[in-house]
């Protein structure tokens, strides 16, 4: 697939994300946009400067970039979390000169945000979850964070398989091997990112609430 086509697909994916934001009636205040921007930057930094790249020559990396996708979704909402991770990590791929990776990265991170946001605010109701029992509260935060990251364990290798096969034109046998390794790498990333997201959420939520930067349930 040509580079021009990859860029076109990336813009289409970004446009679809904005369409979803409009359809879900997600409201963007100045404070919310600022938090999304900061979290996108943190995602970029976590991936670009604190990672183990190209594990076993597969193109997959050990990194903590997904932490801030889940964290933003829990603090704000699913669309905001998805945009923070998608923008930050897709930008990292673009800077690295990989628009093909950026396409699937944008999709995958947006999915993480949507799932984390849905579980956090529609199922668990994390903002109003009682904090009296520390164990139950930490369990609720962990379930919220891990929900989207668990989905990513399956969607990342699945979408990556078709990316490598059809966008990059790699041989099917090689793609199958890469997909199996990528599954393991993604699982490790998800577990590590869950721990980091839980710790950061518990630490940041009180301060952001005090500053009236978080939306109400």
What is the CATH number for 192?
1.10.1760.20
Confidence of residue 162 (pLDDT cuts 50, 70, 90): confident
Q: What is the per-residue pLDDT for 58?
A: 66
Residue closest to 91 by CA, chosen among 76, 102, 78, 107: 102
Residue 103 lies in a domain: yes
Residue 98 lies in a domain: yes
Give the model confidence (pLDDT) of 72-129 as tens digits.
999 999 999 999 999 999 999 888 878 888 999 999 999 999 999 999 999 999 989 9
Residue 205 lies in a domain: yes
Whole domain around residue 92: which residue ranges?
Answer: 3-210
Q: Which residues contact 37 (CB under 8 A, 6 or more apart)?
A: none
Q: What is the per-residue pLDDT for 56?
A: 66
Percentage above 90 pLDDT, the chain: 58
Q: What is the per-residue pLDDT for 148?
A: 96
141-145, 187-191, 194-198, 209-213: least confident range: 209-213
Residue 216 lies in a domain: no
Question: Has residue 54 got a pLDDT over 80?
Answer: no
**What's the mean pLDDT when you consider all of the chain?**
90
Q: What is the per-residue pLDDT for 59?
A: 67
Per the structure, the count of domains in the chain is: 1
What single-letter DSSP state applies at residue 122? Answer: I
Question: Has residue 190 got a pLDDT over 70?
Answer: yes
- pTM > 0.85: yes or no: yes
Residue 217 lies in a domain: no
- Pairs from 93-100 (Cβ < 8 Å, separation ≥ 24): 95/48, 99/3, 99/6, 99/7, 99/10, 100/1, 100/6, 100/163, 100/167, 100/168
Question: Has residue 199 got a pLDDT over 80?
Answer: yes
């Amino acid at each position: 697939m040509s580079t021009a086509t990859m860029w076109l697909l990336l813009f289409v994916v970004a446009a679809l994300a904005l369409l979803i934001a409009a359809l879900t009636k997600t409201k963007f205040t100045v404070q919310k946009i600022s938090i999304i921007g900061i979290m996108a930057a943190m995602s970029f930094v976590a991936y670009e400067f604190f990672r183990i790249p190209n594990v076993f020559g597969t193109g997959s990396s050990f990194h903590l970039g997904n932490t801030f996708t889940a964290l933003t979704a829990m603090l704000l909402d699913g669309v905001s979390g998805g945009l923070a991770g998608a923008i930050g990590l897709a930008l990292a791929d673009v800077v690295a000169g990989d628009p093909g990776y950026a396409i699937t990265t944008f999709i995958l991170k947006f999915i993480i945000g949507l799932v984390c946001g849905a579980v956090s605010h529609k199922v668990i109701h994390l903002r109003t979850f009682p904090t009296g029992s520390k164990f139950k509260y930490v369990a609720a935060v962990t379930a919220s964070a891990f929900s989207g990251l668990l989905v990513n364990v399956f969607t990342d290798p699945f979408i990556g398989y078709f990316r490598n096969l059809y966008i990059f034109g790699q041989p099917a046998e090689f793609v199958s091997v890469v997909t199996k390794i990528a599954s393991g790498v993604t699982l490790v990333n998800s577990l590590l990112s869950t721990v980091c997201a839980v710790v950061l959420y518990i630490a940041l939520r009180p301060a952001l609430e005090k500053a009236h930067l978080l939306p109400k349930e």
